[in-house]
Chains A and B, each alone.
Chain A
């Protein structure tokens, strides 16, 4: 899907199947459509507390499907500034709009430039197809 304003709302991806969307200094993070599809029915989500300082690749959230528990990792280092409470209340949201309204948390990045180290959409697509 093309982005109308790439400089402000570019989305990048991790091999752990998280997406990261930049708006100014703030990165919004969620799990990809591929991830939710693979997990199946999601029944429980635990998100980090606001204010928590995360290292890159630190386990910081949990997604439980009927089948199993999966960790969500901080894609980049930063401080949690907001979490999506509605998705905790209603995890089914993730199956409907994983890469939109069912975002997980927002990070103020420790290093804005680190965003460029993540995969762009084409690279992530190729990665998923290689699995």
Chain B
């Protein structure tokens, strides 16, 4: 079994050696299951699997089959590349709240919230999940590509008595799909009493985990933070359930696109605002009175005056996908925007995309043209999600 390239110290500032490839605790496990490993955010991770044995009997493998298995039954994703961290101290919630538009002080213990790190211009530095495990203890999950920048940004803003501690010794798994809850009940009956966006410390198959009822697929499901040295035991216990197959980054991306969920770096970044991105719901009610977070003023101004562009869903005619970067052109030939994520929807058996469109062209039903390989491809603005969410409520 190959284990990836040897680690190389990148010692000189102008050393052209690329940073060493990082591996997740389940690296060997993925390879043994037929994972096709690719590099994502500096980590070696499976993009899809070539299943053998009893997994092949459950699922053909490949992005499309893994995707459809998640929608039909349940799929297990390894998202250990994402950054996990503790933020602790009596003023932890207030300290984080100073950096995000979400209501973190009002987040009750046992609950999780999606929020954004914003900059002074109102752009998005990252999107993240915050769980309040105890009144003075927050558990953060940030994007892999942003983790160093996020942690430095948060650390720099902390008052005395609040401590940020990156978690390097835990894996993060996601069990997603309509049967996820039934499967979790067999491992820990308490897990299924978690509400949507609830979180709790639970033992799964005898392993102490942090579990939240959330995910990135639009399905009911759970995200499970597990000690790295027990990750393989937990993944094995979940795969022992007949309904589960592992799924790679390919299916993770097509599932989140169908669910209309943003991918940081594609659909949102430092040059997009929460309002343009349609993430205004992540601004807490109380925060809308004071706008006392980074970029609060420019964001408030966009709420009052409407932004010049909006994130939209797109359905191209025909079967050709329009990928990220595709220009959007209005019927009168004027520039209308660009695609930020695009691909093929296995559920709809049709291409789907999201992107930013000029406000006057952003209403559902509007016809536009996508410039695919130099030719205009007709497309319609549609509401998102493309595939209805099936969260437990």
Which residues on A are within 8 Å of B, measured CB to CB? 40-41, 43-44, 46, 62, 64-69
Query: What string of 1s and 0s marks CB contacts (under 8 Å) between B199-222 and chain A?
Result: 000000000000000000000000
Check B373 against A44 for contact (C-beta < 8 Å).
no
8 additional contacts (CB under 8 A) given A66-B344, A69-B323: A40-B48, A40-B250, A43-B344, A44-B320, A64-B321, A66-B63, A66-B250, A66-B254
Which residues on B are within 8 Å of A, measured CB to CB? 47-48, 62-65, 67, 250, 254, 319-321, 323, 343-344, 346, 351, 373
In the bound complex, how far is the Cα of B117 from the Cα of A23, in angstroms?
Answer: 63
Check A67 against B320 for contact (C-beta < 8 Å).
no
Check B323 against A41 for contact (C-beta < 8 Å).
no
Check B63 against A44 for contact (C-beta < 8 Å).
no
B64 contact set on A, CB distance < 8 A: 40-41, 66
B48 contact set on A, CB distance < 8 A: 40
The chain B residue sitting closest to A68, CB to CB, is: B323
Instruction: Determine chain B's interface SS by DSSP, over half rule.
Output: mixed
Instruction: Determine chain A's interface SS by DSSP, over half rule.
Output: strand
Check B321 against A67 for contact (C-beta < 8 Å).
no
How many whole Å from B57's CB to the nearest CB in chain A?
19
A40 contact set on B, CB distance < 8 A: 48, 62-64, 250
B65 contact set on A, CB distance < 8 A: 41
In the bound complex, how far is the Cα of B47 from the Cα of A107, in angstroms?
Answer: 35
In the bound complex, how far is the Cα of B67 from the Cα of A69, in angstroms?
Answer: 19
In the bound complex, how far is the Cα of B346 from the Cα of A95, in angstroms?
Answer: 16
How many whole Å from A74's CB to the nearest CB in chain B?
16
In the bound complex, how far is the Cα of B344 from the Cα of A89, in angstroms?
Answer: 16
B321 contact set on A, CB distance < 8 A: 43-44, 64, 69
The chain B residue sitting closest to A38, CB to CB, is: B36
The chain A residue sitting closest to B344, CB to CB, is: A43
In the bound complex, how far is the Cα of B320 from the Cα of A65, in angstroms?
Answer: 10
Check A41 against B62 for contact (C-beta < 8 Å).
yes
In the bound complex, how far is the Cα of B351 from the Cα of A43, in angstroms?
Answer: 9
A41 contact set on B, CB distance < 8 A: 62-65, 346
Q: Kindly identify which residue among A46, A62, A67 contacts B63, using a CB–CB cutoff of 8 Å.
A: A67
In the bound complex, how far is the Cα of B346 from the Cα of A28, in angstroms?
Answer: 31
B346 contact set on A, CB distance < 8 A: 41, 66
A66 contact set on B, CB distance < 8 A: 62-64, 67, 250, 254, 343-344, 346
In the bound complex, how far is the Cα of B323 from the Cα of A68, in angstroms?
Answer: 8
